[in-house]
Structure 1
Amino acid sequence: MKNILLTTVAVTLTATLAMADGHAVVRMGTEGAYPPWNFINDAGEVDGFERELGDELCARAELTCEWVTNEWDSIIPNLVSGNYDTIIAGMSITAERDEVIDFTQGYTLPDPSAYAATSADLDVASATIAAQTSTIHASFVAEQGWDLLEFSTPEETIAAVKNGEADVVLADKSYLSDVVAQDDDLVFLEREELLGGGVGMGVRESDAELKAKFDAAITSMKEDGSLNALITKWEIGDTF
């Protein structure tokens, strides 16, 4: 699923957004591997909370949008280099990332991060913890000085716990909830973490006008309640 790259149309990379039918064409970059935030459905299309949210934001901003997928560990470099125009991929707003790219206002509040393991009797401080590379979870584990194993995809973190390579996985609870519910061998630990400053769209620092358009669209969705409705529908976390 991670190797699927959606190329709706061939686009020549330029410093400015392309145009179609009088509207700017915005390439929306996502991972396509982190349900319910974003995933590839049976039709091979980007789906999930962020697909529905992104389409609505583009409609409100009067932008024509196309979706592409990119592996997580290179998602910021490929935004900066122009392979797409936004990141909308469950990316938490952090000071470190904000030094490289710009963020819109958050479209979700910070999502609790949870630990999933094969046994509830586990001390995370003495465990080997699996986390996806280049995430707030991997950074948190490293900052604690705990034993960290990093993996390129969320599925690999789960597999590491299942095959005994790691003792526990740390990830967004919204992602782990379905995983644990569908796997009798996995349980949540009582301990949770609250990391990051909520999730926002990433844009290049030079794209202030694009950022302003999406900020306005996010604000309008907050004000009319439609953003909270999507958050509730996809069980992402707390509403605004």
Structure 2
Amino acid sequence: MKKLVISALALALSSGIAMAEDKTIRLGTEGAYAPWNFLNDAGEVDGFERELGDELCARAELKCEWVTNEWDSIIPNLVNGNYDAIIAGMSITDERDEVIDFTTNYTPPDPSAYVAASDGVDLEGGVIAAQTGTIQAGFVAESGATLVEFATPEETIAAVKSGEADAVLADKSYLAPIVAEDGDLSFVGPDVPLGGGVGMGIRESDGELKAKFDAAIQSMKDDGSLNAMITKWEVSSTFE
């Protein structure tokens, strides 16, 4: 009887280990912030973070799948277990770090910038658009300007073009291709350094998963492949 109990217990444990090893890690992203992440013509997640996430999962020997989530609820849905990691151009901040953990950064701090439809915009006292829940929205709120928030980055650009906002503050890497394609918009004022670089958001209880992604990110830094990927997608400066 004892042998049967022990055998059954060993089988259960081995099955549990196998199930843990076979667990699919769900990567949550916005899918609306090119070139970081976006949906391609086939409706699939694409961009810098898609390529990066797939490579990190391969190096960490993890089976991963992608899900999209609106930005304003992306942290609550991680905490609630709807996915296992956020990889969505999320800057590392002390405020966010109180709710979730972050991996080591996979890009250095990316400067934010203002874009407007005309010169002479009052950046300190005017109406500035920013995406809800971003470090840019927090900065504008404390700057003395009037903040107007929108759920998506596309809406912030539309607000400037319609005259609802005097300017938009966002990641410069997001704004640069828009400015290049739209002759009515231009950068105004100085760049604004914000955040501590971009990292993957992980639940505080998932220390093992964080460690695996930390090691994978570091390996890409060490062999130069991360800098090559950053340069390819033009998302930020490279690591020195």
After TM superposition, the score normalised by the length of structure 2 is 0.91
Contact 2:128/2:166 (8 A) holds in 1: yes
2:221 maps to 1:222: yes
Give the match for residue 206 of structure 1. 205
Hey, what's the Cα distance between the residues in 2 that align with 1:43 and 1:102? 32
Hey, what's the Cα distance between the residues in 1 that align with 2:98 and 2:144? 24
Tell me the number of residue pairs that the alignment of Structure 1 and Structure 2 aligns: 224
Deviation at 1:19, TM superposition (A): 4.5
Give the match for residue 13 of structure 1. none
2:143 maps to 1:144: yes
Contact 2:125/2:144 (8 A) holds in 1: no
Give the match for residue 76 of structure 1. 75
**Structure 2 unpaired stretches of 5+:** 1-15
Hey, what's the Cα distance between the residues in 2 that align with 1:89 and 1:145? 28
Contact 1:113/1:193 (8 A) holds in 2: yes
Deviating above 4 A after TM superposition, structure 1's stretches of 4 or more consecutive aligned residues are 16-20
Deviation at 1:75, TM superposition (A): 0.1
Contact 1:73/1:152 (8 A) holds in 2: yes
Hey, what's the Cα distance between the residues in 1 that align with 2:57 and 2:101? 18
Deviation at 1:18, TM superposition (A): 9.8
Give the match for residue 121 of structure 1. 120
Hey, what's the Cα distance between the residues in 1 that align with 2:18 and 2:25? 8
Contact 1:17/1:25 (8 A) holds in 2: no
Amino acid at match of 1:75: I
Taking only aligned residues, the RMSD between alpha carbons, in angstroms, comes to 1.5
Q: Secondary structure of the residue that 1:27 maps to in structure 2? A: strand
Hey, what's the Cα distance between the residues in 2 that align with 1:115 and 1:138? 12
Cα distance change, pair 41–195 in 1 and its aligned pair in 2 (3 A): same
Q: Secondary structure of the residue that 1:126 maps to in structure 2? A: coil
Hey, what's the Cα distance between the residues in 2 that align with 1:17 and 1:172? 42
**Structure 1 unpaired stretches of 5+:** 1-15
Hey, what's the Cα distance between the residues in 1 that align with 2:18 and 2:137? 36
Flag the structure with larger Rg.
2
Amino acid at match of 1:215: D
Q: Secondary structure of the residue that 2:115 maps to in structure 1? A: strand
Q: Secondary structure of the residue that 1:124 maps to in structure 2? A: coil
Hey, what's the Cα distance between the residues in 2 that align with 1:174 and 1:115? 12
Give the match for residue 90 of structure 2. 91
Hey, what's the Cα distance between the residues in 2 that align with 1:32 and 1:108? 18
Once the two structures are superposed, what CA deviation does each residue of 1:144-183 show, in whole Å capped at 9, x if it has no partner? 1221000000000000001110010000000000111111
Cα distance change, pair 162–98 in 1 and its aligned pair in 2 (3 A): same
Question: Pairwise mapping of residues 40-59 of structure 1 onto structure 2 (< 5 A)?
Answer: 40-59=39-58
Amino acid at match of 2:190: R
2:108 maps to 1:104: no
